[in-house]
Amino acid sequence: MEEAIAINPKALSPSTDRTLAILETLADFPHGASVADLTRVLDISQNSVFRITSTLHERGYLHRRESDKKYLLSNKLFDLSRPRVNEKSLTVCAYEAMQQLSKTTGETCQLLVRSGDKCVVLEQVSGTFPVKVMGEIGLRVPLYSCAPGKAILAWLPDDELESWFDRIKLKKFTETTLATKRSLTRDLKETRSRGYSVDRSEGLEGIRCVGATIFNNYQYPVAALTMMAPAFRMAEEDFPKYGKACTEAAQDIQNRLLA
């Protein structure tokens, strides 16, 4: 049995704490924050903020907009944490299949993974229609209100899914959001049965999606592929066709990962 190690608060690094505080604060400023903004919000000396942001910028963790000198988070931390299976990059294995799916259907495709109790967009290939649905890399969305999130939830082990239900307070985002345990559980069972998930404008009005699960060697859902379209272009009767295309692309990605 491993012996528990007590951490002495005096052994913690104040400079590291300030650096992390700046990164976390910038996550709340999607349009950027200046040194003065960070100084005011964090109550840290301007000299400290200047040194830390300059270092983070030099190392590639921050972007600095030349027009107003405001700092924004870069994707470097996100890139460092990108998931891998069998030492293979998930995004690298997925990109070709995503491009083909988008080319075939004309719709935007995204690759997502679970991040805590939400899912996060890892990669995206834009659709070819003049009117298309687009998101942002790094965007976090609730697992239960989108097709890729439900594709992941549907294949979680029973105890893990039950633990997730215990933590989450389901709420409605649209009239079609599945905001009760009973309705969502029924939908997840249907997802497993048909082999793909559907989103009937459950997260955003006017947007529909299909999703398919990507598994690792142990049949654990490590990611999901989704195809998104305006509701007027993805009718209810189109779900089987698009679900099949999405599932085949997800299988291609999985084959590349596990090869």
SS3 sequence of 146-195: CHHHHHHHCCCCHHHHHHHHHHCCCCCCCCCCCCCHHHHHHHHHHHHHHC
* Structural domain harbouring 65: 9-78
Do 125 and 93 share a structural domain?
yes
Give residue-wise pLDDT tens across range 20-78: 999 989 888 878 899 999 999 999 999 999 999 999 998 888 888 888 899 988 766 66
> Do the domain assignments include residue 247?
yes
| Cα–Cα distance list, 66 to 4, 63, 71 (Å) | 49, 9, 9
Total domain count, the chain: 2
Provide the pLDDT for residue 17. Answer: 87
Do 169 and 93 share a structural domain?
yes
Do 161 and 56 share a structural domain?
no
**pLDDT (average), residues 82-111:** 85
Do 171 and 213 share a structural domain?
yes
Give residue-wise pLDDT tens across range 113-132: 988 888 989 899 999 999 89
Provide the pLDDT for residue 90. Answer: 86
Tokens 């270092």, residue located: 55
Q: Is there a contact between 111 and 102 (Cβ–Cβ < 8 Å)?
A: no
Which of the listed residues 78, 104, 139 is the one where a domain comes to its end? Answer: 78
Burial 146-181 (b: 16+ CB within 10 A, else e): bbbbbbbbbbbeeeebeeeeeeeeeeebeeebbbee
CATH number at residue 71: 1.10.10.10
Quote the CA–CA distance of 122 and 219 in Å, as a whole number. Answer: 21
Do 112 and 14 share a structural domain?
no
Provide the pLDDT for residue 82. Answer: 57
**pLDDT (average), residues 195-215:** 97
Provide the pLDDT for residue 59. Answer: 87
Give residue-wise pLDDT tens across range 136-165: 888 889 999 999 999 999 999 999 999 999
> Do the domain assignments include residue 4?
no
**pLDDT (average), residues 191-200:** 97
Provide the pLDDT for residue 3. Answer: 46
β-partners of residue 213 are 224
Q: Is there a contact between 103 and 95 (Cβ–Cβ < 8 Å)?
A: no
Quote the CA–CA distance of 250 and 167 in Å, as a whole number. Answer: 29
